[in-house]
Amino acid sequence: MVLTSAPWWQGAVIYQIYPRSFQDSNGDGIGDLNGITARLDHVASLGVDAIWLSPFFASPMIDYGYDVSDYRAVDPIFGSLADFDRLLAQAHALNLKVIIDQVYAHTSDAHAWFRESRAGRNNAKADWYVWADPRTDGTPPNNWLSVFYGPSWTWDGRRGQYYLHNFLPAQPNLNVHNPAVQEALFDVARFWLARGVDGFRLDAINFAMHDPILTDNPPVTDPALPRKRPFDFQHHLHNQSQPELIPFIEALARVVRGFGADRFTVAEVGGEQAPREMRLFTARDNRFNTSYGFDFLSAETLTPELVLEALASWKPDEGWPSWAFSNHDAPRVVSRWGRPEAPDAWAKLLLALLMALRGNVFLYQGEELGLSQASIPFERLRDPEAIANWPLTQGRDGARTPMPWSSDTHGGFSIAEPWLPVPEGHRTRAVALQEQDADSVLAVTRRLVALRRDHPALRVGDFTPLHLVAPLLGFERAADGQRLRCLFNLGDTALACPPLAQGRVLFASGAVDRQGEMLGPLATCWLAL
């Protein structure tokens, strides 16, 4: 049973594809659009509602596609617009919606807009980026710091000014205060919507508006707050998240919904102001449909308190949340929260927990296989953040290794050496191997997604926590007269769990003793009451 009154995206399971690492179709060691098309049957077999494609646009690839040099062009390493059209048609034939990334806070410094803007102070695009004169001593105009270390200002001799970049120097910030810039971005959205995409993930959208008078950010004075990078030494009140962002969001939402009420928008929102901003960006019907935060992606430990506080923070009248445990920017969750001695048990527990949450679910490629975080040798690192901070951090490369389709060399991803290595441990968890095991992580993923799809209580129902003693976690989901109880043991030993005694088992993993009311270590049980 599924609800027909809710929009398709509410409670949906959306599968994230990182194009460089999904499937190589032409033997150059880099995944591409035709490779994705060739593997869409696998995605559809999971039962998910949609795919989200990370950037495949023209780019110098300094930040692997999040530095866009042409919003309307496919980068040749991924294929062509015709290849994208075939992918889109095949996905729709398989009843998969297609969501694509849109990066509206910044472009590549190779973008034609920036090349024109930096050429002088009087051309048509002179004010399309954030330019500022130096202070009297020649230093940057204020104290703003970039996410990727160091000042968020770089000097440009052609204009004799600094330009703003909240990320890499190769990613200059657009001046989204400028109405002409807004209209240009709306035209980009119209281009892809007219092509048939079903919606957008808006990357780092809270960085799209800065304080025009360039007020210094205040320092962080609380010694309890982590300071792993220079960026963490400031409260980012002025380089992002300005009030003018809301009218822009509403205008962009109008553009999207002008192509149909079923088109979808999800905002990526990170940073210390994220809890407020996620709700603000989705607070009304004329803003984004949902927001995608870092409650779980940035958490180093899984506890019942973490889950219950994150879910409780979204009131029924405060918009609709989206959740992810893994993505291309965060260490894979089986390694981050689990332990290597029980990888399958952890993977199944975490998948069951993710699929039971109220909100949309984002499933990252390979999560359905229980892939762990890869360890990449220094000479193979590609992520600029990882290279700059080695050996203290592996950066993002360990979550971006190619998808293992078989146990063959390179995991069936490519006939050539892949852009990142395929770990041997991933090849032993390949799709082809797990297809042969009825109790594999892949098989369990399919069962869980099907249960979520078929039960309105899981897809769109209310969320009510049960007051269990940690490491037990329990909550109930209810909708349309249907009530389900979801129980998890996050600990290493069997524990008494009286709520097990009621209801009919919908799903169980691990040691579940209902007669003895015991839930084994890393065990899960869903009950229909």
Pick from 221, 299, 230, 289: which is nearest to 256 by CA?
Answer: 289
Q: How many residues does the chain have?
A: 529
E-assigned strand segments in 422-523:
462-465, 472-479, 482-489, 495-496, 504-509, 512-513, 518-519
What distance in Å separates the CA atoms of residue 253 and residue 266, rounded to the nearest whole number?
A: 10
Q: Which of 75, 198, 268, 344 is catalytic?
A: 268
* Residues paired with residue 199 on neighbouring β-strands, in sequence order: 99, 264
Pair 353, 524: CB distance under 8 Å? yes
| Amino acid in position 23 | Q
Q: How far is CA 488 from CA 71, 219, 482, in A?
A: 44, 41, 20
Told to judge if 435 belongs to the known catalytic residues of this protein, a careful annotator would answer no
Clarify whether 300 is annotated catalytic: no
Marked catalytic residue, from 24, 67, 203, 277: 203
Residue 33's alpha-carbon distances to 82, 86, 410, 430, in angstroms, are: 10, 9, 19, 21
Determine the Cα–Cα distance for residues 518 and 525; give it in Å rounded to an integer: 11
Provide the pairing of β-strand 13-17 with 97-102.
unpaired
Angle at 397 between CA 391 and CA 401, to 5 degrees: 135
Q: What angle do CA 356, 361, 363 make, to 5 degrees?
A: 110
Count Cβ neighbours within 10 Å for each residue of 87-108 and write b for 16 or more, e otherwise: bbebbeeeebbbbbbbbbbbbb
Q: Is 247 exposed, middle or buried (0-12, 13-18, 19+ CB in 10 A)?
A: exposed
Beta strand pairing call for 512-513 and 518-519: antiparallel
Tell me the C-alpha distance between 239 and 483, whole Å.
Answer: 45
What is the spatial distance between Cα 38 and Cα 120, in angstroms, rounded to a whole number?
A: 46
Give the number of other CB atoms < 10 A from CB of residue 448.
29
Q: Which of 131, 130, 46 is nearest to 96 (CA)?
A: 46
Query: Is residue 364 within 8 Å of 324, Cβ to Cβ?
Result: yes
Closest CA to 291 of 363, 202, 176: 202
The answer to whether the beta carbons of residues 163 and 154 sit under 8 Å apart is: yes
Cα 289 to Cα 50: distance, rounded to the nearest angstrom? 15
Which residues are identified as catalytic?
203, 268
